[in-house]
Chain A
Amino acid sequence: MYAFEFERPGSLDAAVKALQEEDAQALGGGQTLIPTLKQRLAMPSKLVSLKGIAELQGIAQEGDVLKVGGGSTHGAVARETKGIFAGLSLMASKIGDPAVRNRGTMGGSLANNDPAACYPAALMATRGTVVTNTREIAAEEYFQGLFTTALEEGEIITSIRFPLPEKSNYQKFEQPASRFPLVGVFVAKYGDRVGVGVTGASEDGVFAWKEAEEALAGNFAPEAVDDLWVSAEGMMSDLHGTAEYRAHLVKVMTKRAVAAAE
């Protein structure tokens, strides 16, 4: 590892201030950032750990919304949302392995916005909100393509707000080597609408499959999407799967998520 400064502020204000320095980088659980540093794909001169900030912790139901602190680990999400938000709990329980789940955070994952990360599918399907130290950003505005979000330089995700669905489920078809989703589909059913968030598939990152959302709003059953077709155009194609295969899997995983929703 190369030499860099390390700071661990105890409050959100202190973190915001520390991140104002040039070339400072926020560090969540480090599950992406640390390997990136090791490979010298990024070499920030200062890391600001968000671990010690109480404002970023806590998972709580607030009426019909679930609020998850940005610093919540996947392990905490998996445990503490069980029985409140089945789909999210399931999703978190299958990210990486136990070591990753005990370190990695939801805020870190959403800030990084890896095109094959799991959480973006849940945030998109629920049309949730990202809350930062300065503002609230709706899911559809938040995601802006691969590894790109609406976050400004130095802006910190303090919490994520998910409107709680009646039923939800997440189906992940694993990329064979890393076990990131090759395609992951999150389905959230509400009284008047259904959300379908798709990750891993598109060249533009997470997206809402709106045709399926409409069809499922009328009939929340796997057959409702039978007549829909997902175009391979704009889907990612790489050594782990072709665009055609990913497009095919979007539909299969959607049907399975609907069938399994609880």
Chain B
Amino acid sequence: MNDQAPLRVIGAEIERSDAHVKVTGRARYSYDAARPGMLHAKVLRSTRAHAKVLRVDASAARAMPGVHAVLTGVDLADVPMPVYGYFIKDQPILATDRVRYEGDMVAAVAAETEGQANAALARIVVEYEDLPALPDMEAALAEDAPELFEEAPIGIVPPYGAGSSGALRPRRNVCYSYAYETGDPSVFDECDHVFEDEFRFSRMHHLHLEPFVCLAHWKEGDEIELTTSCQNPFPLRKEIARIFRVPESRIAVHVPFVGGGFGSKNNCKTEPIALMLSRRTGRPVRFCLTMEEGFLTNTQHAAILRLKTGVMADGTLVARQSHVLLDSGAYSDASPLVAEKAGYRVAGPYRYKHISSVCDCVMTNQPPAGPFRGFGGTQATWASDSQIDMIARRLGIDPMEMRMKNLVDLHEPWVPGESGVDSDMREGLDLVAREVGYDRPREANRGVGLSIGFKDGGGVNKPAQARVKVSTNGDVHLMCGTVEIGQGARTALSQVVAEVMDCPLARVEYLPLDTRYTPFDQGTNASSGISVMGQAVERAARSVRQQVLQMAAEELGTEPDKLRLDNWTVIHGNESHALAPMIMGRYGGTGFEFTGDGFHKQPNDHHAPLETKSVFWEIGWAGVDLSVDPETGQVFIHKLVVSGDAGRAIHKLVCRGQDEGAALMGLGQALYERMIHDGTRLVNGEALMYRVPLAEDLPEVFEAITQEQGHGPGPFGAKGMGEGAMLPVASAVANAIEEAVGVRLTELPLTPERVLSALVEAGKA
């Protein structure tokens, strides 16, 4: 590839490499995995929110037809480290002495059919002694609340850089607290106004259509084979190795296509139980959760966010203090990481002289909360960018103008020690404002709202390795650990290789992911597929290309920089030489395979608050034009415009799809979705009762505009995608509602009944 040459594969209108197999139903997912002799696992779930487990009698279940094994808490005695979690190892594979939420796993059965497994579960008798239950954060933080974990589970605090700190168990029922501070708090004294507001954020479920599912086989000689619907196979492998004390080299994790995850499919979910049952029976064990069980397995974090923001009369932002509480549920899961991000991101895309932020993970007797698209940024943006709008309106300043005044500039470090912001955020805001008709005169009860979501992207301390091989005949093999979860990573990363190798996309094969042979990767999350893995892939491809050109130059008696590649021929001036015969001539008739490795990781940097500078900045802009029905409180979206900056769009349609999907998830967050509890019992944990946006909920006009500002660190100037457009939708809707009818809602979702109540309270209905 010549660096001056126009790009041929990047940005081209080409079909996704997995389009055909997916639309024809031939794509294989973990859900489809099957083996001869396979058993099916099912689990018994706690009916109590918080209780001691006094006795589990599984004798009748063991005698049921088709049953091969039954596990209860006592069987964990065989497991070296039977607990898991990210920073804090507090979740047991099965409950032992205690259950901590309604849905906690108490016993497991492997049987020849799922029906037999379920029938056996019904025969297991569990005797509980109820303990006081803490259904929400207020209850958990009350003075007289019992400590849910009497003894501290094993946990770590990662190294942080300037201004950041973390603490395990800083107070009762808080498993982790993250804090960030920069600048001098005394600047609050200079402010003309200080506004304090509280926001509430409801908990969504990921509602990934492929359920949590794995097929586990613990073979003779302690060799483990696992096919699983998982976003981070390598950390999963590490966790399995630690739990069962098995060398990582004896664990093969296979990840075929994943049917959606949105963050939920990280770390242990179904795998440890399936492995225990397989070890016990010697048979492959499939463990597939129902959608209803999915609701009980991992969720978004409900949050309470309190912001105190100091501002000058002209709208210049000066200082922001915040305290965020995240409802982490019964086990810590990824809560400390989410806290880091919610705490860090809550200042939003604006310039402040002082930021002080604390985010606490509060343990309750609810299903565990974990990673969710936006990763704390959704909660942070809801509060942050609602409050900016509220302040502008209180000061009589146009909210767009107030944003324009305070946005961090292109290339300006977001906070001291951070990388420069790699999008012109004013340009993006201008674009969505224009597209949504911000300046258009409004009819009664109609309003337009804007919002900007902002997050650091690419993960913290996140390494990625990749390998590209080219066979003698020019077939290209790409090996990397990014999971194809619908985002189009296989296509986009293959395009990077095709561009570098100057070959058609069809020549690049994205090899199946197998942790034994695929190079190491931290996981498919944090919008890192292109921004981090893309860099590793590009390096691997460039290494192979260089080796090929070096070989050709030696054969042709010239220098590599006098040569270029064109679909496995080498071009030297006016001559063209086929590479296959050249390679066989040099290496002998069986030929040779060129292999290149690539690695990328943002360097450690103690001046950066999170210990590495952000790889890139993921920004989502949204504009919403809506009407409010003042008699019912119903909100009708006339137009939703979102935009992300891909830096350089590797595949334009895939980028647009990512932003459209993210925006609709944001619209669900804004208007419909929430897990509703009656005390500790989830009452809408099923598809019929849990409302997600459907095709008919699409706004009258819906646009997702992919910007290509060209400042990204990834291949060819690309940035990460996929979360940004989710962030600003809820705040944009709330901002538009205030403009339409003059009431401000600070609690999600913005249901008709809540809008109507606000109107009634304000004397407007």
A contact residues vs B (CB 8 Å cutoff): 173, 176-178, 239, 241-242, 245, 248-249, 252
Please report the C-alpha to C-alpha distance between residue A177 and residue B692 in the assembled complex, in whole angstroms. Answer: 8
Please report the C-alpha to C-alpha distance between residue A176 and residue B684 in the assembled complex, in whole angstroms. Answer: 12
Please report the C-alpha to C-alpha distance between residue A30 and residue B167 in the assembled complex, in whole angstroms. Answer: 56
Please report the C-alpha to C-alpha distance between residue A176 and residue B753 in the assembled complex, in whole angstroms. Answer: 11
Instruction: List which B582-640 residues lie within 8 A (CB) of chain A.
Output: 631-632, 634
Please report the C-alpha to C-alpha distance between residue A245 and residue B676 in the assembled complex, in whole angstroms. Answer: 18
Q: Does B683 lie within 8 Å of A239, measured CB to CB?
A: yes
Which of A178, A245, A252 is the one whose CB lies under 8 Å from B753? A245
Q: Does B632 lie within 8 Å of A252, measured CB to CB?
A: yes
Q: Does A249 lie within 8 Å of B690, measured CB to CB?
A: no
Task: Judge whether B751 is part of the interface by a CB distance below 8 angstroms.
Answer: yes
User: Nearest chain B CB to A17's CB is how many angstroms away?
Assistant: 34
14 residue pairs bridging A and B, Cβ less than 8 Å apart: A173-B632, A176-B691, A176-B751, A177-B688, A177-B689, A177-B690, A177-B691, A239-B676, A239-B683, A239-B684, A239-B689, A242-B753, A249-B632, A252-B632
User: Nearest chain A CB to B672's CB is how many angstroms away?
Assistant: 6
Task: Judge whether B756 is part of the interface by a CB distance below 8 angstroms.
Answer: yes
Please report the C-alpha to C-alpha distance between residue A241 and residue B632 in the assembled complex, in whole angstroms. Answer: 12
Sorted nearest first, the 3 A-B pairs with minimum C-beta distance are A177-B691, A176-B691, A245-B753
Interface string of B673-717 (1 = CB under 8 A from A): 000100000011000111100000000000000000000000000
Q: Does B756 lie within 8 Å of A176, measured CB to CB?
A: no
Q: Does A241 lie within 8 Å of B691, measured CB to CB?
A: no
User: Nearest chain A CB to B40's CB is how many angstroms away?
Assistant: 17
Please report the C-alpha to C-alpha distance between residue A248 and residue B760 in the assembled complex, in whole angstroms. Answer: 12
B contact residues vs A (CB 8 Å cutoff): 631-632, 634, 672, 676, 683-684, 688-691, 751-753, 756
Please report the C-alpha to C-alpha distance between residue A248 and residue B756 in the assembled complex, in whole angstroms. Answer: 10
Q: Does B684 lie within 8 Å of A177, measured CB to CB?
A: yes
- In the complex, chain A residues whose CB is within 8 Å of the CB of B631: 252
Q: Does A176 lie within 8 Å of B683, measured CB to CB?
A: no
- In the complex, chain B residues whose CB is within 8 Å of the CB of A178: 688-689
Please report the C-alpha to C-alpha distance between residue A141 and residue B736 in the assembled complex, in whole angstroms. Answer: 49
Q: Does B690 lie within 8 Å of A241, measured CB to CB?
A: no
**Max count, chain A CB within 10 A of own CB: residue among B676, B690, B751, B753:** B753
Please report the C-alpha to C-alpha distance between residue A239 and residue B676 in the assembled complex, in whole angstroms. Answer: 7
Nearest B residue to A241 via CB reads B753
Please report the C-alpha to C-alpha distance between residue A252 and residue B632 in the assembled complex, in whole angstroms. Answer: 7
Known: A239-B684, A249-B632, A252-B631. 9 other contacts (CB 8 A): A176-B672, A176-B751, A177-B690, A178-B688, A239-B689, A242-B753, A245-B756, A248-B756, A252-B632
- In the complex, chain A residues whose CB is within 8 Å of the CB of B632: 173, 249, 252
Please report the C-alpha to C-alpha distance between residue A248 and residue B632 in the assembled complex, in whole angstroms. Answer: 8
Please report the C-alpha to C-alpha distance between residue A252 and residue B684 in the assembled complex, in whole angstroms. Answer: 27
User: Nearest chain B CB to A226's CB is how many angstroms away?
Assistant: 12
Please report the C-alpha to C-alpha distance between residue A176 and residue B754 in the assembled complex, in whole angstroms. Answer: 13
**Max count, chain B CB within 10 A of own CB: residue among A173, A242, A245:** A245
- In the complex, chain B residues whose CB is within 8 Å of the CB of A252: 631-632
- In the complex, chain B residues whose CB is within 8 Å of the CB of A249: 632
User: Nearest chain B CB to A236's CB is how many angstroms away?
Assistant: 13
- In the complex, chain B residues whose CB is within 8 Å of the CB of A176: 672, 691, 751
Please report the C-alpha to C-alpha distance between residue A241 and residue B690 in the assembled complex, in whole angstroms. Answer: 14
Please report the C-alpha to C-alpha distance between residue A249 and residue B676 in the assembled complex, in whole angstroms. Answer: 22
- In the complex, chain A residues whose CB is within 8 Å of the CB of B691: 176-177
User: Nearest chain A CB to B431's CB is how many angstroms away?
Assistant: 32
Please report the C-alpha to C-alpha distance between residue A176 and residue B671 in the assembled complex, in whole angstroms. Answer: 10
- In the complex, chain A residues whose CB is within 8 Å of the CB of B751: 176
Nearest A residue to B757 via CB reads A245
Nearest B residue to A249 via CB reads B632
- In the complex, chain B residues whose CB is within 8 Å of the CB of A241: 753
Nearest B residue to A176 via CB reads B691
User: Nearest chain B CB to A193's CB is how many angstroms away?
Assistant: 26
- In the complex, chain B residues whose CB is within 8 Å of the CB of A245: 752-753, 756
Please report the C-alpha to C-alpha distance between residue A177 and residue B689 in the assembled complex, in whole angstroms. Answer: 5
- In the complex, chain A residues whose CB is within 8 Å of the CB of B634: 173
Nearest B residue to A256 via CB reads B631
User: Nearest chain A CB to B483's CB is how many angstroms away?
Assistant: 31
User: Nearest chain B CB to A8's CB is how many angstroms away?
Assistant: 27
Nearest A residue to B692 via CB reads A177
User: Nearest chain B CB to A201's CB is how many angstroms away?
Assistant: 14
- In the complex, chain B residues whose CB is within 8 Å of the CB of A239: 676, 683-684, 689
- In the complex, chain B residues whose CB is within 8 Å of the CB of A173: 632, 634
- In the complex, chain B residues whose CB is within 8 Å of the CB of A242: 753
Please report the C-alpha to C-alpha distance between residue A151 and residue B60 in the assembled complex, in whole angstroms. Answer: 43
User: Nearest chain A CB to B676's CB is how many angstroms away?
Assistant: 5
User: Nearest chain B CB to A240's CB is how many angstroms away?
Assistant: 9
Please report the C-alpha to C-alpha distance between residue A177 and residue B690 in the assembled complex, in whole angstroms. Answer: 6
Please report the C-alpha to C-alpha distance between residue A234 and residue B471 in the assembled complex, in whole angstroms. Answer: 76
User: Nearest chain A CB to B242's CB is how many angstroms away?
Assistant: 40
**Max count, chain B CB within 10 A of own CB: residue among A173, A178, A239:** A239
Please report the C-alpha to C-alpha distance between residue A77 and residue B102 in the assembled complex, in whole angstroms. Answer: 44
Nearest A residue to B629 via CB reads A252
User: Nearest chain A CB to B488's CB is how many angstroms away?
Assistant: 29
Please report the C-alpha to C-alpha distance between residue A117 and residue B467 in the assembled complex, in whole angstroms. Answer: 59
User: Nearest chain B CB to A191's CB is how many angstroms away?
Assistant: 30
Nearest A residue to B686 via CB reads A177
User: Nearest chain A CB to B223's CB is how many angstroms away?
Assistant: 39
User: Nearest chain A CB to B565's CB is how many angstroms away?
Assistant: 53
User: Nearest chain A CB to B113's CB is how many angstroms away?
Assistant: 14
Please report the C-alpha to C-alpha distance between residue A248 and residue B751 in the assembled complex, in whole angstroms. Answer: 15
User: Nearest chain A CB to B684's CB is how many angstroms away?
Assistant: 6
Please report the C-alpha to C-alpha distance between residue A177 and residue B688 in the assembled complex, in whole angstroms. Answer: 6
Nearest A residue to B751 via CB reads A176
Nearest A residue to B691 via CB reads A177
Please report the C-alpha to C-alpha distance between residue A173 and residue B631 in the assembled complex, in whole angstroms. Answer: 12
Nearest B residue to A175 via CB reads B691
Please report the C-alpha to C-alpha distance between residue A79 and residue B227 in the assembled complex, in whole angstroms. Answer: 50
User: Nearest chain B CB to A204's CB is how many angstroms away?
Assistant: 22
**Max count, chain B CB within 10 A of own CB: residue among A176, A241, A242, A252:** A176
User: Nearest chain A CB to B761's CB is how many angstroms away?
Assistant: 13
Please report the C-alpha to C-alpha distance between residue A245 and residue B757 in the assembled complex, in whole angstroms. Answer: 9
User: Nearest chain A CB to B561's CB is how many angstroms away?
Assistant: 62
